[in-house]
Structure formats: structure tokens, C-alpha cells
Amino acid sequence: MTAATDTLNPTQGDHAGEAHGHDDHGHHAATGWRRWVYATNHKDIGTLYLWFSFSMFILGGTMALGIRAELFTPGLQFWQPEFFNQLTTLHGIIMVFGAIMPAFTGLANWMLPLMLGAPDMAFARMNNWSFWLLPPSALLLVISLFVPGGAAAGGWTLYPPLSLQFGMGMDLAIFSVHLLGLSSIMGSINIIVTILNMRSPGMTLMKMPMFAWTSLVTAYLLIAVAPVLAGAVTMLLTDRHFGTHFFKAVGGGDPVLFQHIFWFFGHPEVYIMALPAFGIVSQIIPTFARKPLFGYHSMVYATASIAILSFMVWAHHMFSVGMPATAQLFFMFMTMLIAVPTGVKVFNWIATMWQGAMSFETPMLFAVGFVCLFTVGGFSGLVLSIAPVDTQMHDTYYVVAHFHYVLVAGALFSLFGAVYYWLPKWTGYMYSEKMGKFHFWWSMVWFNVTFFPMHFLGLAGMPRRIPDYPLQFTDFNALASVGAFCFGLGQLFFLYNVIHTIRGGVGKAPANPWEGAHTLEWEVPSPAPHHTWETPPSQELVEKGLKEQAL
Amino acid sequence: MTSATLTSVERDRANRRTAIKLGIAAAAMVGFAYGMVPFYNVFCEALGIDRARPELADVHAAAMRVEFDTNVSNGLPARLTPLEPVVAGRAGGLVKAKFRLENLSDAPLGLRAVPSYAPERAGRFLTKMECFCFNALTLAARETRDVTVVLLVDEQMPAELGAVTLSYTLFPLEDKA
């Protein structure tokens, strides 16, 4: 709060970005490790989030490769089934809570104050806390691999009765989820307050960049459901150690109750990982189509509709546990209804590109790749929403294919696009377009080689979360494993590409390297100075950009 | 409400107010998670969803699941509903079940309920003590009546018997058909 208030002091420099090294910012002058551990600057914290999430991406990715190595041929090669199950569980938890979610929070931290014309996030110290809860929670998960009984192995959904029976690895996972939830809630409070209270003059809610809108709605979703997950795992914990019987059938509890509570969190969680991706794509596509975003207002309403509907569809994850036909129909139709606002978004993106002067720099490639592949994932989701079909496909590789299309080709591709889009702003240097394009095409090809065959495996009946499989599934599994290793290799190339850019890339970046970008972050120099918008941008400046965006 | 219209102190206060509201919302959602527990029980009961049953969960005693199924023969303006669709039976214990019988027509109605059960081998372990079945029943116009079944579970009931389904079908009384 202090950082946010004293930077508003009107006696300071009248142009944003020129106040670097201002002497009343002594508490920001920390260097070395102190700069990061005591970080209160939104850009530093954003950077921390992004590096943390990348390292979790590599960790979770390594686990995925452990899974794919085992599945390359039938039979047990590398791991015992117990360890294989730990790999699938930790891969899920780490990718969802460690890689994707912190990456979006990191982007929101870095970009929201710049895009909205605010000097920093609303609560700078709480921001520091939100980030620094993450490394310990990741550590708990890693430690859990080495305790007696190993890590949690019942899948990322932590279903009882398995989760009631595991050893202390499960307790560590529960505590880890507590910390992650706390971090998400604080991060979300910060994002909401920043967006609601700290926008520059002239930028009304309905004129904010789409990324701000999707971040705002996502933050609301998190505040609503992260505590529900925390409650669910706390009930697991007390069932395990303190004699309660929420989910223990022996004591009168019901394991199915956990599934309801978990998916009440879990389905909005799906949109927590998808909405910010929609926001990023809605920034990138207008820039490279050199046209304003088509249907801005409908985009906002679609985002809100998806968020509201996400609370009414959770039981479609549970069609096979048994529920009255009426309930199945309700959840089935509500799920299908979500395709409407999502379709609005996809059509708006296409309409934005329609007759635009498009150019295909790396961020645009990732955005267009996102639109194509996310739609594939959306369609397989529609297939799964049909209750009788889902009863057949439940817990097969079809589901695995579906959610990797929306989470890898969806969330992750949008994140790659975001990194290439804003890398010049962050580092002050241009990345190599050649290497960026190579990264995109490499990822695009191998992603599909990895995950497309999984649709067929699922339709043929291969269950998920198994270390061994019948012979008839061999060819598609071998193909998927080759694809996964190549895809993984490509991400090391991405790391190289980013480091290459930080070290100078292909030359200095101008303040606005993109011809069609008109949001406020491009009004500050590249690299963005430590302090920006200490005086809010003038109304004329804001309105100039809004006019270009047809708002 | 943007930063230009507020002084830094005012904005600071506004920020804190919003944060407190959001913090309260988050805390309330933890409560909501716990609130789902009793709500789930109420909901399952109201919908008649068969949920995990504590009385079946006692691992030290063999228990039998007794499930009730009801049917009404074609065109008969009556309804038969088990008030508890699933009950637990213990070896040597009694099973009591109530059914609601309704005449949906505006005229008196003569009825007879005919029972059947599955699996066949369960018949040996269930003794009928009291039943509304086979009796000729006459309901006044629009009458609703609760009827009872009492069964004795045999001491020798094998633990692996698992579930028994008792089915009752309503037929019109022969002379009134």
C-alpha cells in the first residue's frame, strides 16, 4: 500500500517512466537477492512469477516425459505402478497450480498496471507474500516424493477413498494446496482492487483492454472457488487424522460428496486457466490484424457468462458416479450452453482477422494456433458433455486428449504468445523472429503428434492413469511418446530463445515494436523502467489509444 | 472511480475497503464448502438419491441391502411410492418399510399389490411378518394411505448375499376390472 500511495505524490516527474532511480524510492533500490526476496515492485514480482512458473513447467514436463517413457511400449519398463501413479498425480497438480495459474498471475502483475496506467499493484507487500508462498508449496510437493509411501498417487483430483489411505505424502500435498490457495486468493484480491480502483482517468471498465477484463473475472472466480478447494482438502485432512467422517463411508460419510465439492471448485478452475488465455489472444489478434477487436462488448459479456455458467456444470465430471436422469440432463444442457459464449469469442476473433492486414509474427502464430486448437479441444469437450457418451468415455484417453488440447494448445500456447508479444517490453530487446517461428511450428507439430492419437486411444477404450496397456494400443502410444519428447525438447529451445533475447536478442526494441498495438503499455519505453505511470497518463493519451481500439 | 478523482489517502482507504470485502467473500466460501455437507444430505434425501449409508457401513456385521421397486399396471389411476427406497437388513433383525398408496381418480378404487423378488436365493432368508400385499384394498376417491411391510431377516443370512430387490406391482381388483 505504501508503494502505491507515495508514488502518487503529485510533485513527482510528470512523465511516466522517467522517474527511474528517484531518490524517495530507497526501498526499491535493493540489489542482489534482496531485490527479489523483498520485492514489492509489480514488474519484479511478475518476473518472479513467470520464472517460477517456467521452472514448474519444466518439472511437471519432466514428469510427463517419465509417464510417456513408461507408455512407449506395453509392459513395465522404468517405474513400478505406485511411482507411475505419483508421476501422473504430481504432473497434474504441478502443471495446474504451479505452471499455468502462476504464469497468468505473473502476466497480470507485470502488465495490468502498465495497461491500466497505474503506478503499481494495489497492495505491494501482499503481492510479495502471494508470490513467496509458492516456492514452499512447490517444495512440499517435491519433498513428498521422498517420504515413506511416496507422493500422493490418487490423481490430481485427490478423490477419497484413495486419498484417505495414502501415507504422509498426501498430507504434504494437502498443505501444499492450502498454500497455493492462499497465494491465489491474495493474488486475486490484488488484481481486483487494482483493476477496480487504480485505472487512469478516461479508462472506464468498458474500455479496459480485454486482458484486464479476463483477469478481473478470473480473479473473482478464484476468490469464489479457491476457498472451496481449501475446505475440501481440509475435510480430507481431518478425515485422515482427526476422526471426522466427511468422506469416510465407515463413519457415515460419502466419498461422492468430495467429488461434488471438488468439482464445484474444479470446473470454474478450468475457466480460471482458460479466461486469461482468451484475454491474451484478444490483445494479440487485433494487433497483428491491424483492426480493432471485433465485438468488444460481446467479448466482455461472453467472459462473464462463461464465468457464471461455470458454477452450474460441475457434475458433468461425475456422470458415471450415478445421479438421477433429471440431474444428468440439467448438467448436460448447461454444459452445452457454455459453447454459446465460447463460440461468440471464437467468431469474434475470426471476425477481427477478417479482411485485416494480417502479419504472422510469432505472437500472432501462437494466437492463431490457439484459436484453431482450442476449438478442437472445445469440440471434444462438447462430445464429452453428452451424458451417455461420457459414461462410455469417462476416464479414458479421450478425456486426456480433450483437456490437453485446451490446456496445452489453449492456455500454454497463449502464454507463449504473451511472452513473445511482451518480451520486447520486458527486456528492451527484440527476440529472434526466426527462432520464435521455429519454436511455434515445432510445438505445433509435436503437440498434435503427442495428443491427437490420444483421441483414438480413448475411443478404443484405453483408460487413463495406467502404467501398462494391452498390445493393441502400442502404435498410438509409441507415436504419442515420440511426440512428447520432441515437444519437450522444443521448450528447452524456448528457454534458449528467451535468454538470447534477454542478452540482446537481435537488437534494441522500440517503445512500440508492433504497428497495430494501441494499449497503454506501449506508451512507456522499452524496457519498461522500474517505475511507470507514477503520474497517471493524461486523459488525451488514454483516449488516443482507445480511439485506435474503436472504444 | 479512477485514481484522478481521488487523493492517495482516499484511494488507499477505498483499496482497503474493497480488499476487506473480498477477504470476507473468500472466508464465506470456505464456509460454503462446509455448508455443502449438510446440504448434500438434504438434497440426496429430497431427491431420493441412494447415497452411501452408514448403517450398511458397519464392517463387523453382515448387512443386506433391501431395495424396493414399485410398478402400477397399465392405466390404473393409482400411485405407489416407497418412502425409503433402500433400507439395510441385519442378520436376525427386522426390516420395516412404509409405502404411500394414492388413488388419483375421483372414484373409489379397488386394488391388489402383487410382490416379487430377486435374486431367487434371497427368498430363503427373508420371512414376511406383515405385508399389505395380496390383500384386497379399497381406496376412497383421492385417498392417500400409508401401508407397511415388515420382514424378518434370517440369522443364517450369508454375508455375501449383498442386495435383494423387492418389487410390488398394483393391479385392479379382479371383480372391478
Whether residue A474 is predicted with pLDDT greater than 60 in this model: the reply is yes
Ranking A83-92, A539-548, B74-83, B156-165 by mean pLDDT, the lowest is B156-165
Q: How far is B85 from chain A (nearest CA, A)?
A: 14
Give residue A469's pLDDT. Answer: 96
d(CA A448, CA A413): 13
Phi/psi of residue A409, nearest 5 degrees: -70, -20
Chain B residues with beta carbon closer than 8 angstroms to that of A249: 52, 54, 57
A216-265 pLDDT per residue, tens: 999 999 999 999 999 999 999 999 999 899 998 877 788 999 999 999 99
d(CA B90, CA B95): 8
> Which residue of A228, A331, A542, A543 to mutate against B (max B Cβ within 10 Å)?
A228
- Is the pTM of the predicted complex or chain greater than 0.90? no
Please return the burial class of B176, using the count of CB atoms within 10 Å of its CB with bins 0-12, 13-18 and 19+.
Answer: exposed
Task: Express the helix, strand and coil content of chain A in percent, nearest 5 each.
Answer: 70, 0, 25
Share of chain A above pLDDT 90, in %: 89
Chain A residues with beta carbon closer than 8 angstroms to that of B34: 231, 235
Q: Which of A24 and A550 is assigned the larger pLDDT? A: A550
d(CA A125, CA A423): 25
Chain A: residue whose CA lies nearest to B11: A197
Alpha helices in A133-209 (DSSP H): 134-144, 162-165, 168-197
> Which residue of B1, B3, B50, B60 to mutate against A (max A Cβ within 10 Å)?
B3
| Nearest-CB residue to B52 (from A229, A255, A327) | A255
User: Would an 8 Å CB–CB cutoff place A226 in contact with chain B?
Assistant: yes
d(CA A104, CA A222): 12
Identify whether A36 is a catalytic site residue.
no
Cβ atoms of residues A495 and A435 within 8 Å: no
| Nearest-CB residue to B29 (from A201, A228, A322) | A228
Which residues are within 8 A (CB) of A434 and not within 5 positions of it... i.e. 6 or more apart?
none
User: Would an 8 Å CB–CB cutoff place A251 in contact with chain B?
Assistant: yes
d(CA A305, CA A313): 13
Check residue A375 and give left, alpha or beta (phi > 0: left; psi -120 to 50: alpha). Answer: alpha
Cell of A286: 487485433
A257-276 pLDDT per residue, tens: 999 999 999 999 999 999 99
Give residue B1's pLDDT. Answer: 45
**Cis previous bond, A513, omega within 30:** no
Give residue B173's pLDDT. Answer: 84
H/E element, B130: strand B126-131
Which residues are within 8 A (CB) of A165 and not within 5 positions of it... i.e. 6 or more apart?
none
A9-56 pLDDT per residue, tens: 433 334 444 444 444 444 556 788 999 999 999 999 999 999 999 999
Asked if A192 and B18 come within 8 Å (Cβ–Cβ), the reply is: yes
ipTM of the complex: 0.86
Asked if A199 and B3 come within 8 Å (Cβ–Cβ), the reply is: yes
Chain A: residue whose CA lies nearest to B23: A189
Of B50, B143, B159, whose CA–CA distance to B102 is shortest? B143
Q: How far is A23 from chain B (nearest CA, A)?
A: 20
Chain A: residue whose CA lies nearest to B9: A5
Work out the average pLDDT over A112-134: 95
A60-98 pLDDT per residue, tens: 999 999 999 999 999 999 999 999 999 999 999 999 999
Helix (H, G, I), strand (E, B) or coil at B94: strand
Q: How far is A198 from chain B (nearest CA, A)?
A: 5
Work out the average pLDDT over A191-197: 96
d(CA B46, CA B41): 9
Asked if B34 and A231 come within 8 Å (Cβ–Cβ), the reply is: yes
